[in-house]
């Protein structure tokens, strides 16, 4: 076992040296500072790409299924379901009464116009502090 461990360490060291020499040969007086720093950060171990999931679509489906199960009203206790059902009409009325951002913006612009403010940006012809 000890022989294999020392052999593995030697191989890792050899591979690192080969990679270092290979990467070092790419850096010369023509290399941009971006390339130099990118290489330095790679050697330091920074900015390494995270490992990707082998089946991202499957994992996404699994997470969505779990979320759907946890977020479903069926899993709530009866008293919470009843309170939620009692609040639903008030929520719907609140959403119906809410104004759109466009309506609010028109109201603000109308007030600015009545007060004599320019609605579109500051006046560039006025020098501040003079």
9 lies in some domain: yes
84 lies in some domain: yes
14-18-23-25 Cα dihedral, nearest 10 degrees: 140
pTM above 0.95, yes or no: no
Chain segment 114-130, per-residue pLDDT in tens: 555 554 555 555 555 54
53 lies in some domain: no
Separation between Cα atoms, residue 78 and residue 89, nearest integer Å: 18
Among residues 121, 100, 99, 119, the alpha carbon closest in space to that of 109 is found at 119
10 lies in some domain: yes
**Quick one: pLDDT at residue 59?**
92
15 lies in some domain: yes
130 lies in some domain: no
The total number of structural domains in the chain stands at: 2
**Quick one: pLDDT at residue 40?**
80
Chain segment 36-81, per-residue pLDDT in tens: 888 788 777 776 677 788 888 999 999 999 988 888 777 788 898 8
Separation between Cα atoms, residue 106 and residue 111, nearest integer Å: 9
88 lies in some domain: yes
**Quick one: pLDDT at residue 120?**
52
Domain that holds residue 105: 77-120
70 lies in some domain: no
């Amino acid at each position: 076992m000890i022989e294999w461990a020392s052999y593995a360490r030697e191989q890792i060291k050899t591979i690192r040296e080969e990679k270092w020499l290979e990467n070092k040969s790419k850096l010369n007086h023509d290399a941009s500072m971006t390339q130099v720093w990118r290489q330095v950060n790679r050697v330091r171990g920074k900015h390494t790409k995270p490992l990707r999931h082998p089946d991202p679509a499957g994992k996404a489906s699994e997470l969505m299924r779990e979320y759907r199960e946890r977020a479903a009203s069926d899993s709530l206790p009866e008293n919470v379901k009843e309170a939620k059902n009692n609040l639903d009409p008030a929520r719907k009325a609140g959403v119906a009464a809410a104004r759109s951002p466009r309506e609010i913006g028109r109201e603000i612009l109308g007030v600015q116009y009545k007060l004599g403010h320019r609605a579109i940006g500051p006046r560039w012809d006025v020098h501040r502090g003079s």
